[in-house]
Structure 1
Amino acid sequence: MAAPRTPAPLAPRQPPAEKIIMGVDPGTQILGFALIEVRGQRVDVLTYDVLNLKSLGTNHAVKLKRIFSRMLELIDEYLPDELAIEAPFFGVNVQSMLKLGRAQGVVIAACLSRDIPFVEYAPTKVKQAVTGSGSADKEQVARMLRQTLALPPVEEAPKFLDATDALAVALCHHYQQGNNAKAGTKSWDKFLADNPARALATTAKPARPGAKTPR
């Protein structure tokens, strides 16, 4: 008679997701978006990518329509509970500000059409929350996120800095809700101390405070 088999241990059940946060870095040339799932102190990245609008030419209305439709697709697929969006940067010219403001408004309108609340964050606030420095550049933000989160791979990662910016906005929103009492303590200075090989590359091209890549 065969000996009874020992049942395989059950995999630990994950707690239900507390919320899903959508982060958006608005733009009329490249728009970054990300979605994260929060379970207590655990944060999982569901997706992060960019919406490339350059191929649509100079017709601003066509671009705004594409932004609206893509946001609705993401909302219906991932069912986010909240939107965190980056505020337009005041260092660009008036025309760029207007275009960025419209893109931001379209993203917000798409979320409001699905009854999703939104919160706006200044770029310096996002950088401070994620890296500990409000003057960090896009590359520094991306490197810190790769340390903090297990990011899924993306093709041509250097070209996806708007996607990591959007991910930073979502993570900033998570931090602001008290889910990380020590947000920002893992500073960029500490990252360089832990990774001395990065120091030369970073100091060779110092970031201007508040600098943001034009769109």
Structure 2
Amino acid sequence: MTGLPAMERILGIDPGSRITGYGVIEVDRGQLRFITCGTIVTDRKHPFAHRLNEIFDGVNEVIQLHQPAVAAVEDVFLATNPRSALKLGHARGAAVVAAMQNGLAVHDYSPRRVKQAVAGYGQAEKNQVQHMVRVLLGLSASPSVDAADALAVAICHANQFRVTK
């Protein structure tokens, strides 16, 4: 791999069937810069298929607005409840298809690898990830847990390419 170009915008996605976090950062010569973050909250009253469409539309809107060059998505973790894992996989699929439909390459990262990249420990707690994302990006306040996780995925991708140069 040749690494990231001089400047690249990365979309990080933390998929969820109820709340999908997103975060966009820019990497410029190894420096991380915060662009935006937030959540796509689906309406629990809607049928599940409709909620998947809400995720697709939300990710599509973020991509259209912020024009990332690449997407990094957190992989599905092994859940104790198979039904929850299946729903999470569907939500992840909706986000991945939105990225692919916009011509983005999609890179997958395990939760452990993401935590390792931002907190230095693969078993880091959510609040540790939030704190480190705030520090690494120089934010004045911590983003929501889901948005912080998405930013962490984007940071993990940026770090992956810095290391492999």
TM beyond 0.5: yes
Deviations 1:23-74 (A, max 9, x none): 0000011111000011112111111111122x34251111001111111111
SS of 2:123's equivalent in the other structure is coil
Matched, 1:101 2:85: no
Matched, 1:21 2:10: yes
Over aligned residue pairs, what C-alpha RMSD do you find? 1.9
Alignment coverage as a number of residue pairs? 161
Task: Give matches, 1:1-215, under 5 Å.
Answer: 18-53=7-42, 55-57=43-45, 59-151=47-139, 153=141, 160-178=144-162
Measured after TM superposition, the shift of residue 122 of structure 1 is 0.4
Runs of 4+ in 1 over 6 A off after TM superposition: none
Q: Which runs of 5+ in 1 are unaligned?
A: 1-15, 182-215
Q: Give the TM-score of the pair, scaled to structure 2.
A: 0.91
Measured after TM superposition, the shift of residue 165 of structure 1 is 0.4
Distance 1:25 1:150, change over 3 A: same
Q: Distance in 2 between matches of 1:106 and 1:134?
A: 26
Instruction: Determine which structure has more spread, i.e. the larger CA radius of gyration.
Output: 1
Q: Distance in 2 between matches of 1:108 and 1:30?
A: 15
% of aligned pairs identical? 37
CA contact (8 A) 2:134 2:141 kept: no
Q: Give the TM-score of the pair, scaled to structure 1.
A: 0.70
Q: Distance in 1 between matches of 2:139 and 2:154?
A: 14
Q: Distance in 1 between matches of 2:129 and 2:69?
A: 24
Q: Distance in 2 between matches of 1:167 and 1:180?
A: 20
Distance 1:141 1:180, change over 3 A: farther
Measured after TM superposition, the shift of residue 91 of structure 1 is 2.7
